[in-house]
Structure 1
Amino acid sequence: MVSSLLHLQPSNYYSDLLAPAQPDQRRAVVQNAMNYIDEHLAERITMEAVAKAVHMSVRSIQQGFRAELGMTPMTYVRERRLERVHEELTDAIPADGVTVTQVAERWGFHHLGSFAVEYRKRWGEAPSETLRR
């Protein structure tokens, strides 16, 4: 209601409402979204959940990610998950029964063929090669 009144009645804040988000504000929103994503990386993440967590619209978050990081939020999620899988496979000992499938699924990759393609693009080797090293 206050926002509506400020839009209808010119005031000292009227121009602030019409101005786009400042780069520092956008950066803060993106950082908050990145923090949320990192904290929930092993869970199912939706844009709606991210938007709710940082109190912004889905579109604002998407625009902020493109402007600040040059990627979409879901691309960021995939990249962070790939990093986590890579770290875990690098540190794992195959003799302990660790499998690529277990690690990939733990980090939200359920389509293993697509996962292997993305992993190879990112790291230049198959996930099983990383595990064996």
Structure 2
Amino acid sequence: MNVDCKDIQELIKAKNLKVTPQRIVVLEAIYSLQNHPTAEQIIDFIHQKHPSIAVGTVYKTLDTFVGHGVIRKVLTDEDIMRYDGILEHHHHLYNESNGEIRDYINEELDEMLKTYFEKNGIEGYKINSITLHINGKSINK
């Protein structure tokens, strides 16, 4: 996902957060790395250009971003925390062979799920959103 520095600043401001160089760098890293990076991957990426940014600052910034809805956490089946900078509704395809997580958008599936749960519901539970984590393995064709 290509996002420039100005867009990143506007996104941070829109979430009522102070724009700091560290926050810009962390969000740039998430968008540059794509594919739902781990905190360690984000830190390694940042330290290539900004070795003075503390590891604790990166973790605190990630937590702040999650808490303010700038990014989302994605937990893998191996209990590895990854980060997602795409806020639009989507599902995740988890490749069990290599650990890759891909975004999956399918409006027909979304409508089918919405219709099903509107009709059937879950007793004693109010559904706010539905996001699937689809596990599988790549097949070579």
Range into which the TM-score falls when normalised by the shorter chain:
0.3 to 0.5
State TM-score, norm by structure 1: 0.36
Higher strand fraction (1 or 2) = 2
Higher helix fraction (1 or 2) = 1
Query: Which entry has the higher C-alpha Rg, 1 or 2?
Result: 1
State TM-score, norm by structure 2: 0.35
